[in-house]
Chains A and B, each alone.
Chain A
């Protein structure tokens, strides 16, 4: 079983939930930008959350399914189209063999996830299937996807052909993931204080949680540069590098903020003024350049509670979806 890249997109890569345990070599976790959308996409097709998916940016690849396949598309809405018919996101779809999926235009978001029942079965590198672009390793040959790439897919135990309605190129199964809460009101992003937060001057501390910050176009899988008021430290402070995480908000020497994202370096030497809630990173990474956001300060316990709730929901969703699939057409 495989799916083929019929026409490549601008930056589409194979990703999973990340590569942990190798930071002593400077190898960062990487993985999907939006862990929530990827986990939902996997749940909808009966995969564990850890399965590898294709992360697509717009303009996204055209994908040819060479055999009948159970898929889902979650995250950004790039108006997916199968056989000239728009198809829904956040819903399991059975796609007939030799059918092409393409994406028409951006409605919202930055990254969308194509999950395929069985998972993208590329060879793991250091226990993960995530593409490490810098190291040219992991994922599909360590690079973004090009024309004619054949992505191996794990085997399916479902009789998918019988799930298709006669003569149709695809069938949307009659259930959907509720996702709205996650991406609603992404203009307010919750933060916890970073270790150098208290080194900001009074004005800057105030601005951090009241001013508008715009996502700039100088943003990518490594980090999002934000445009906003120039923030300052009370006193100059020379830092030694420390470990950083996805969501760490660093203050650059010019007074602007950068939010570190999936492909961030393992260590950083700029003041850490805050950390975006992990549960809100999906909303943050899906914000498009030009979009403005505001930060809201919370305590770390709130961040943890929200994340645990989100993970519980995802686990429940995963169980329910698998059950639905197992009982479908029985």
Chain B
């Protein structure tokens, strides 16, 4: 496996253009709900949809909150169309002495952030990820081809055609949830998880993902990348961020083995 170095990020312009009027998309006002997720977290939800625009709004809100965190802000989990913000109630209680509940105070801060995020930040990094679609690595590839009545080559071509958006990273450190796969390739996940090797590329529904670790997995495995998605000692330990883009290109077994070996001489792609 090779250590993957992400391409340098382009500078972010206009990220904090405060008070920008950007709460609507295509003339439609965005509806959101804010609700507590226990007493240490609040969820800001734009509706359960897998939509790049909504996801981009979530990323902008995340950026706004991490660049200018409110007192007691701890972390925020970016998901498809929601942001779950963790906070430290006692810290806020002691430092801010809110007149009402801490939860209401945080909700107000969250709305304030939402109202003042700048124009959508469009900076994103494109990652080109090599995948070996050899049936030995992609254990479900041949079965899928049979089920879908298409050739393995078609499947490979479908999977490697789009530029995917990383909607979120979850499940495991470094596991990117990407979408959308072409409609012809959309299959329901397996009913039972099976052991999956690190680097395995899987598909499920409209999503594709890469397993950073050996683990149980319920997605259909169609290939493997020599790219390392998690390196605890790395800076950053994970080469992707939600909102980044990924495209896959097919490599042969020989190329896979070669890239895999290059790890030992410490080279990057």
A residues apposed to B, CB below 8 Å: 20-29, 125-126, 132, 134-137, 142, 192, 194-195, 239-245, 247-248, 265-267, 272, 275-278, 300-301, 303-304, 307-308, 311-312, 315
Contact = CB atoms under 8 A, between A and B. Distances in A.
Contacts of A194: 37
A213 to B, nearest CB: 18
Nearest to A137: B232
A241 B80 contact: yes
A192 B101 CA distance: 15
Contacts of A21: 74-75
Interface stretch (B22-30, B81-89, B253-261): B81-89
B175 A240 contact: no
A299 to B, nearest CB: 10
A278 B77 contact: no
B158 interface: no
Contacts of A275: 36-39
Interface in B195-220: 213
B13 interface: no
Contacts of A307: 39-40, 89-90
Contact of B168 (A20, A22, A132, A241): A241
B172 A265 contact: yes
Contact of A240 (B48, B173, B237): B48
A26 B242 CA distance: 10
A25 B82 contact: no
A248 B37 contact: yes
Contact of A245 (B40, B168, B236): B40
Given A240-B79, A248-B38, A277-B39, A25 B86 contact: no
* 5 residue pairs, one from A and one from B, having the closest CB atoms: A243-B84, A243-B77, A267-B170, A275-B38, A137-B232
30 contacts: A23-B76, A23-B78, A23-B86, A24-B62, A24-B77, A25-B173, A26-B171, A26-B172, A26-B173, A26-B175, A27-B173, A27-B237, A125-B232, A137-B237, A192-B39, A194-B37, A195-B37, A240-B49, A241-B79, A242-B79, A243-B43, A265-B170, A266-B169, A267-B79, A267-B171, A275-B36, A303-B38, A304-B89, A304-B103, A307-B39
Given A240-B80, A244-B84, A267-B77, A25 B169 contact: yes
Given A23-B76, A243-B79, A311-B89, 19 more contacts: A24-B78, A132-B232, A195-B45, A242-B43, A243-B82, A243-B83, A244-B84, A248-B38, A265-B171, A265-B172, A266-B169, A266-B170, A277-B39, A278-B38, A278-B40, A303-B39, A304-B101, A308-B93, A315-B90
B144 interface: no
Nearest to A308: B93
Contacts of A192: 36, 38-39
Nearest to A25: B238
Nearest to A312: B90
Contacts of B169: 24-26, 266
